[in-house]
Amino acid sequence: MFRAGPSVRLTLQFRRALATHATTPAAPPTRHSWTKQEIQEIYDSPLLDLVFRAASVHRQYHDPSKIQLCTLMNIKTGGCSEDCSYCSQSSRYATPTKASRLVDVEPVLEAARKAKENGSTRFCMGAAWRDLSGRKRGFERILTMVREIRGMGMEVCTTLGMLSPEQARQLKEAGLTAYNHNLDTSREYYPEVITTRSYDDRLSTIAAVRDAGISVCSGGILGLGESDKDRVGLIWEVANMPEHPESFPVNALVPIKGTPLEDNEPVPYQTILRTISTARIVMPATIIRLAAGRQTLDETQQAMCFMAGANAVFTGEQMLTTPCSPWDEDKAMMGRWGLEGMRSFEQVGVARKEGARLEARSETQAAPASGTSASVGAQPSA
């Protein structure tokens, strides 16, 4: 007797996702020609009107009951040569973060298994490097991590600094779902925050990732000392890319002792809410992720963010160098608000990019051996 295993179910899920979007009333196409003035007018509108408009747009493009649960692991800590003024991993600053070598494969796989058991469907790995130059062995180890975690049926994301087109191609071939490379802030304010890497360097890596067929994860940090105009500038920059980012992380600065921004004031909650709402209206199909600093928001503040269009969180034991809300607390909160976790590859944009790979893998696993019946019960290896 044939029993459909996880890979087959994953493919059926992918087909249903596309079919659902094909049979429900079509949402308006996304725009890539926003002006800064248009975005500023949205950002400056009365806050409750802004949240209501964002919530209405959110429901046109997403299931408002679904939240993507992501877990982040620091696989190589500290010792970075960059001078990002918010980051405790820079070698230029005396901070509590100590440099370490790249983690071995097995501890990473164990962390991914634990994340999956707790409901996370995307596993993200960060390494404190400027780029991968001269790190051939380390890169090979990371490619192994990507292949193995993808084999668990999870979405896989990395953030490894600047990438070449060839490195992006290899990550895609290994099964990488998304690559995180934040722009952090507007082009105009960026030199106040970082001087060792240009804005165009970041855009070049994003282009290499996009061209390789990997989903782009790119957002920013609030509380760097920027103005509302800079927050609008960040959204304008990503909203006018050839493809909107698959996900847009909204980070609130967590000041860390020893960094140049250690004494920055906390970003006001209404600024976080305005940024999420504006991003949702301007990039309606993008996943908006509440990232660093979420633990400073109480439950009702987080619920308002979800109402306004945030539909992903980092959950688990730790961010890269800052606290994270635990799985049990997040699942309990979601239960109180009638929210549930997304499945892997549920977002239609990701499903389209990953479709051929999911189809090919599941068809291979579903095909019974000649002259025998088949029972597919292994983890999907998409």
Distance of CA 235 to the CA centre of its chain: 16
- Backbone phi, then psi, for 125, in 5-degree steps? -125, 130
Any idea which residues carry the catalytic annotation? 80, 84, 87, 124, 157, 217, 289
d(CA 327, CA 205): 32
d(CA 312, CA 105): 26
d(CA 284, CA 281): 5
Contact 379, 152 (CB under 8 A): yes
Three-state secondary-structure class, residue 148: helix
d(CA 186, CA 234): 4
What is the identity of the amino acid at 323? P
Q: Strands 155-159, 247-252: parallel, antiparallel or unpaired by DSSP? A: unpaired
- Backbone phi, then psi, for 123, in 5-degree steps? -115, 125
